[in-house]
Structure 1
Amino acid sequence: MYLKATILIYIAMKKLIRLLVIYIVPLIIISFNSNAQNEEAFKELKGIIIDANTNDPLMFTDIVIKNSNISTVTNTDGEFLLKIPESFFDGILTFTHLGYEKKEILISSIGENDKIALSPAITELEAISITTTSKEAKDLVIEMLNKKSKLYNTNNTLMTAFYRETIKKRRRNASLSEAVVKIHKQPYDNLKKDYIELVKARKKTDYSKLDTLALKLQGGPFSNLYTDIIKYPEYIFTEEDIPSYNFSYGQSTRINDKLIYVVNFQQKENISTPLYFGKLYIDANTLALTNAVYSLNVSNRELSSQMYVRKKPRKVDVYPTEATYRVNYRTTNGKWHYSYSNISLTFKVNWRGKLFNSIYTLNSEMAITDWEIKDNNMVKTKIDLIRPTTIMTDRASGFSDPRFWGAYNIIEPEKSIESAIKKIQKQLKRT
């Protein structure tokens, strides 16, 4: 089984050529629900997280208001934006990053655009040794996967999340989608699928930059949700697939003063089916998965293309050149849960008979910004729920409103995305 990140490719946005399926998936128009927004007064905090020794920005740093479930994550430039409700003005922010010491700072002491330095965690030599545990790396991974009923949230949970999806042709931004969603997260100890409800969204695509070709990421927020290896192991580590991997120990690290085992994995040489390779970060005490960073082996162009490309024109060859994934977990009251994921897919598009090819990069990320435990009847209706086959429709109006997100927390846009948003705003003013 593989992660659901299907690419639909259109010519002039009209003619659909079926490639791997015998039916045409309809374009689903999404209704936008603007209710349920917290109107409590808030203030915005902006800053950048850096390495105390090198001053390098630290991407994917977790930032949480202590004694709450309100959180965000730094972008690829190490920057963050967090909206603090009035009831937490006198609270504390907690900063955590894999391989670094945890840091706590009074909210009232943080200034505008402060630089906050995190110190690398010191790991003793004996903790680095692969002999720290007597378990084989493969056995450790199997035990980790079997821990979901004990270590992970077993309650129905309603999560608020921010989702961003970009498409670039080479280095030029061609499409930008953003959304606030509600994830109806099912308990980790059952097999029920999660639901996603769309709260607020905006999108702008510049088709002139895509020439006559347009790519659409089918699945949207679901693609990121399925990177939750513990909830959805069937997309990477099925019982049938595990024997196809080689597992080995890497150098241990620390997070929040806890020792973290690092397990490397890659497919065996005699396996031709595209599988994944990467690192699993496992808490040495509980054997909970804290982070995972991995990629798909795309050396077999034909087979890896079949995993992603659902529809394409006859005269176009499309194949992935890179497919990378990241998922982070966070613990609250001793229970772990999904907190952030990032997907980056790069595709090469060759038109038969043409000299030059095109390179497209699709990137999506989703961060949990708040959550609460709900009763068993959490999902009352499916009218406002989106489906895994959904393609977010074009909707640019929100970019003209600088207060579009209101009190909702978002991931601070990196510089290239911020520049794209400014260009969209200028275009909207002209029109």
Structure 2
Amino acid sequence: MMRVIRGFFLSWLVLLVSQVQVWAQAPATLRGRVIDAETHQPIPNAQVGVADNRIGTSTNDDGRFALNIPAAYAEGKLTVALLGYKNHSQKLPPLPGPELLIELKIVPAALGEVQVSGSVLGIVREAVAHIPQNYPVRPTRLEGFFRESDKELDKGQYRYLGEAVLKVLKAPYTQPKEDGEIVIEQSRKVDLLMQNKTSMLQEGWYAGPFIPHRFDFVHNRLAFINEDDFKHYEYKLADLTTYNDRPVFVITFGPKANDKSADFEGRMYIDQQSYAFLAAEWHRTPAGIRHEFMNFDAEERAYRIDYQMYAGRWHVKSVWYNTIGKGLMGGRLHHLSEFLTTAIDTTQRPAPEYIEKAQFRDVFRQNAVRYDSAFWKNYTTLLPPEQLRHALRDQDRQQQAEQLFAAQGAPASKAPSKGLFWEVLGRLRAGPSGGLLALDATAADISLSFAPESSAFLAQAQRRTPASTMAFSNSNLFNGNFQVDFTKKLSAYYSIRKVRGDFQGLGMEIGATYEHNFNPRHRPIMGRIGVAYFTQRVGYSFGTFDNTDKGLRVVGTKLNADEISVAVQKFTEGWMPRLGLGVEVSHHLEIVADAGLLLPWRTRSELHLAEESGFFLFRNEVDLALPAAGATVLVNNAPAAAPWSLGRPVLTVGILYRLL
């Protein structure tokens, strides 16, 4: 019995010790308050970082902060920084513990001892030249928060709010033409506009999650740091001060006098020692707003970005994008997008697969991946600079976000219904196409005479038709291919085909297509198989003739235009099985190529008459089957059918664009 009791006691002791170890490894909370050393007033928006800013947060309006410290960083160093103040640094105290009181001392506003040699533009050129030394020259990955919102200013109501965790894959800064990729890890959204939609008119923001690429002015070499555009800008040295405790040049830029080509105006912060761009804030000029050609009457379009040091290079830290103006529906809107980096990874990892990548033309509000509010509790953020007063972790904004999400009253995994019309529109794809038709045409002399009974109209002509083995056809976006996807694999389509060249005519296909993805884990390559009902007219024009008979009717159709064109054509009707391939270029765009085999069951020769004058929407035309009363067609001086006919092969290449 004593042996059993002793064993039970030892087991309980081991369990207790292990539990204590677990408790010891759990994150402890560091709390503190940051005040001005002279005035003893609280300092909001100060940057609080631990372990070289691997984790961090910002102070609230009372100067207070709270940060969970993982056990791995318990021996790290605490830093507090804010523009205009001297950095504070100390070893982390034992945790948990009482609230720290941290006093920041103001640094002089200007460093007048620093001498600037050369022109201010020379400083900017020097900073551009040092980009390969200061920024990553190989691919890097950022992870961070993203939020975008639309607010109706007149009503004071949000229309839309989206939040996400993004993986941002940055291309090397030596490759300014290559932005990189975006992966939306988790997201949630409230779209009151979609829920209350009453018309087809809608406004949406494209590429919001791409702001870490689009507004990275260093990587993209935006106009105000681009050699080709320097001639449009005037640069001035506004100040010599510090930024995050680093001496910087503060340089303002804007259009030269009477220059209408400069799109931007603002200021940038350049490190005095390394010539690295540390931050910039700018807005579009009135000319810059006009140059965007947006369907949005913008009053303001402003941007801010700052960078942080990691592993000897500067990386994007935070991005802020703000626009105000009148939308398509008349009301004044405020759109705000923000991104904040929470982690940086410089290791070389495989690029994300195609299906993971967000596309530039994806509308973020249609992203189906969702998360619940507990998601935000799993991350802490690096702090925005002093200029970003509307930070992602701001308590008021976060509370508003939670209220909007809670107001949905629907499970997080189920999106609100869009209605039947929008459901159908979301399944619709359309686009132009071109193709080749096999044509068996022999050269021949054809004479035509058409004089309807009891009519003054007369068409007489003689032509020599060419020999041909092929005809080209095409269709455009508005009069071309339309496809409705019933499922991801099965769809129905309607296509109009127009033959062009020496021979001309209209055709049509109505059919069904089944697609199978041979490459499901990468860029989709679709195998396509289908069958269609097929009609095609191929004709040869005999010219345009004056019509003196205002009461002319042909098989019940009134043709009273001043001019009427006449052609001889061959009509073919049948079935067409098809095989093909499709390659998805983006989530919305697919290039398809199909080969069909025509199986005709009926052909006939026709006379085609069409009005050529008057308003084109009201012009009549008619196809008259041959032989017909009043019509004589001679081929090489003998009655015969039109000396051309369609062959069996039909090749088509087209584009299918998903409308929503």
What is the TM-score when the length of structure 2 is the normalising length? 0.50
Q: Structure 1 residues 50, 146: closer, same or farther in 2, change over 3 A?
A: farther
Aligned to 2:205, what secondary structure does the other structure show? strand
2:247 is the alignment partner of 1:259: yes
CA distance in 2, matches of 1:112, 1:426: 38
CA contact (8 A) 2:240 2:247 kept: yes
CA distance in 2, matches of 1:224, 1:380: 17
CA contact (8 A) 1:64 1:94 kept: yes
- Counterpart in the other structure of 2:315: 337
1:302-381 matched pairs, under 5 angstroms: 304-307=289-292, 309=294, 312=295, 318-349=296-327, 357-375=330-348, 377-381=349-353
Match of 1:181 among 156, 161, 166: 166
CA distance in 1, matches of 2:169, 2:351: 7
- Counterpart in the other structure of 2:359: 387
CA contact (8 A) 2:232 2:262 kept: no
Letter in 1 for 2:406: Q
Letter in 2 for 1:238: N
Output the aligned Cα RMSD.
3.5
2:99 is the alignment partner of 1:121: no
Q: Offset of 1:155 from its aligned partner?
A: 3.5
- Counterpart in the other structure of 1:86: 71
Q: Offset of 1:111 from its aligned partner?
A: 7.0
Match of 1:137 among 94, 115, 120: 120
The number of residues matched between the two structures is: 371
Q: Offset of 1:226 from its aligned partner?
A: 2.3
Q: Offset of 1:63 from its aligned partner?
A: 3.6
2:406 is the alignment partner of 1:425: yes
Q: Structure 1 residues 182, 79: closer, same or farther in 2, change over 3 A?
A: farther
Q: Offset of 1:133 from its aligned partner?
A: 0.8
CA contact (8 A) 2:168 2:181 kept: yes
1:19-418 matched pairs, under 5 angstroms: 42=27, 53=39, 55=41, 57-59=43-45, 61-67=46-52, 69-71=54-56, 82-105=67-90, 106=92, 108=94, 118-123=104-109, 126-127=112-113, 132-170=115-153, 171-191=156-176, 192-207=178-193, 214-234=202-222, 236-273=224-261, 275-298=263-286, 300=287, 304-307=289-292, 309=294, 312=295, 318-349=296-327, 357-375=330-348, 377-394=349-366, 401-410=372-381, 411-418=392-399
Aligned to 2:360, what secondary structure does the other structure show? coil
Percent identity between the two aligned chains: 23
Which protein is bigger by CA-based radius of gyration? 2
Unaligned runs of 5+ residues in structure 1 are 1-39, 313-317, 352-356
Aligned to 2:239, what secondary structure does the other structure show? coil
Aligned to 1:295, what secondary structure does the other structure show? strand
Letter in 2 for 1:359: R
Q: Structure 1 residues 327, 182: closer, same or farther in 2, change over 3 A?
A: same
CA distance in 2, matches of 1:345, 1:115: 38
CA contact (8 A) 1:157 1:373 kept: yes
Aligned to 1:126, what secondary structure does the other structure show? coil
CA contact (8 A) 2:111 2:241 kept: no
1 or 2, which has the higher strand percentage? 2
CA contact (8 A) 1:179 1:198 kept: yes
Moved more, 418-427 or 390-399: 390-399
Q: Offset of 1:80 from its aligned partner?
A: 6.3
CA distance in 1, matches of 2:184, 2:333: 27
CA distance in 2, matches of 1:163, 1:285: 32
Q: Offset of 1:358 from its aligned partner?
A: 1.8
CA distance in 1, matches of 2:101, 2:303: 28
Letter in 2 for 1:407: N
CA distance in 1, matches of 2:151, 2:133: 41
Q: Structure 1 residues 235, 245: closer, same or farther in 2, change over 3 A?
A: closer
Letter in 1 for 2:183: E
CA distance in 2, matches of 1:75, 1:359: 30
Moved more, 266-275 or 287-296: 266-275
Moved more, 146-155 or 285-294: 146-155
Q: Structure 1 residues 235, 81: closer, same or farther in 2, change over 3 A?
A: farther
Q: Structure 1 residues 125, 95: closer, same or farther in 2, change over 3 A?
A: closer
Q: Offset of 1:142 from its aligned partner?
A: 1.3
Letter in 2 for 1:307: E
- Counterpart in the other structure of 1:34: none
Aligned to 2:124, what secondary structure does the other structure show? helix
CA distance in 2, matches of 1:148, 1:69: 24
CA distance in 2, matches of 1:216, 1:185: 26
Deviation string, structure 1 residues 269-303 (Cα, Å, up to 9, x no partner): 222235111111111111111111111112x4xx6
CA distance in 1, matches of 2:133, 2:245: 22
Aligned to 1:133, what secondary structure does the other structure show? coil
CA contact (8 A) 1:71 1:368 kept: no
CA contact (8 A) 2:146 2:340 kept: yes
Q: Structure 1 residues 55, 241: closer, same or farther in 2, change over 3 A?
A: farther
CA distance in 2, matches of 1:50, 1:57: 5
Q: Offset of 1:150 from its aligned partner?
A: 0.8
Letter in 1 for 2:185: V
CA contact (8 A) 1:50 1:56 kept: yes
Deviation string, structure 1 residues 157-211 (Cα, Å, up to 9, x no partner): 2211111111111143222111111112222233432211111111112227998
Letter in 1 for 2:264: Y
CA distance in 2, matches of 1:66, 1:288: 23
Q: Offset of 1:306 from its aligned partner?
A: 5.0
Letter in 2 for 1:323: R
